Structure 1
Amino acid sequence: MRIVLGVLSVVLALAFLAIGGMKIFNTQVFVAQLGLPSAMVVVIGVLEVAGALGLLAGFRIRILGALAALGLAVLLVGAVGFHVLQGDLLVNGLLPVVLLVLAAATAVLHFRQGVRGGSAAAVAD
């Protein structure tokens, strides 16, 4: 399970570094596409990048990885809800749905393995 958790954490971290970075540095593209205020797009991007960094920090401090995965899952519930309300779930909402499932699975795996203690390397299968 440790390997699965590690792979999920890295995949999600890379995805959210890219997605969040695009929202921070190409804000106007997302403002035009989503119709959200630019400040909100930047805040969402910062939260996504913070979540990605938290997932990576989870390799050293398990609770950070667990909380980051949980936070990203909550953020993604909002993203899926937004796309449902916009009526474009099948067009722009599929990626958030997939990422939500992956983030939730990552959070569950973190919590099932236990989040007490320092190093994730100390977790035995």
Structure 2
Amino acid sequence: MHHVTITPIDAATQSDIPTPAGHIVVWPPVIGYDGLSVLLGRAVGTLQADRCRRPESLPPASTPPGSRVPRWITADVLDWLREYREQRAQPHTVDPSPTPRRRGRPTKVEVVARMRAAQAVEGGEA
């Protein structure tokens, strides 16, 4: 079983792992399924199944000689997580259209007007 300690820190120290304000999580250098499930927020059974079915969905593991249980190096897991960090969404600007479109099917008058406008553009280009 792994031991995770939460120790208070001063404001000058920062951590890559989101924690309660003013605390840093100290992880052991090597973790098993239990530690990985805490870091990734997945159940141990899901991790075991994913290791067989979808190994690309997990960070690379090490299986020590003589052991059947995989181990993960904590620094490698954190690096792997950083690769999948989402970029902050940029606020998109909405192009204000001159007239908002109405709901539903266009009326016959609107359809005919669009067709005439399209024919006028085609006729003007030719």
TM-score of Structure 1 vs Structure 2, range by shorter chain: under 0.3
TM-score where L is the length of structure 2 = 0.23
Greater fraction of residues in strand: 2
Q: Find the structure with the greater CA-based Rg.
A: 2
Greater fraction of residues in helix: 1
RCO higher in 1 or 2 (8 Å CA, sep ≥ 6)? 1
